[in-house]
Amino acid sequence: MHARLRLRDLLWLLAALAAIALASLRLDEAARGMQGLAATREARIVTRCAPTPPISGDRDHLLRVVTNLLSNALKHSPPGGTVTLAARTVAEGVEVTVEDEGPGIPAEEAHLLFRPFSRLEGRDGAPSGTGLGLAISRAIVEQHGGRIWVERASPRGARFVLVLPGVPDEPAESHRQVA
């Protein structure tokens, strides 16, 4: 019980620190930063980012969230697979999605993904990572006033969706592309 409380407190503290310094997120940085892993995994990253309002928040922490989602997608994609990073404007702000062509998330396990130390098997059949990446990602996104979830992609794979509020009261002509 104490270990869970301490971990929850640690995740909250990490997320709280994310609110200190504000800067705009650039999704193209995340995609470029993951090209090496994509090459070693024999996969490619495609970006489809429509013009969106700026996303404000701690640039490094939000970049870590997107990078974590891309890394997970690459780990679960088959050789020759494509990971798609997309952004678009929605009523709440900006929606960012990372979609892979892997085996997908079993419906009965989807609710476990954002819990600390929860891990699914990689494409080689062995669990990968520490199981903290998605828990930390959720804490960061929520600290920024956003939401994150997973859904089944069609026809196969997983789609991770995060919605972050855009900069309030920005004139429409000042909107710029996130990627």
Quick: pLDDT tens for 84-114.
Answer: 999 998 998 899 999 999 988 888 888 888 9
Q: CB atoms < 10 A from the CB of 175, how many? A: 15
Contact 63, 29 (CB under 8 A): yes
pLDDT for the residue numbered 141: 95
Domain ranges for the chain, please list them. 2-177
Architecture of domain 2-177: 2-Layer Sandwich (3.30)
In this prediction the pTM is 0.78
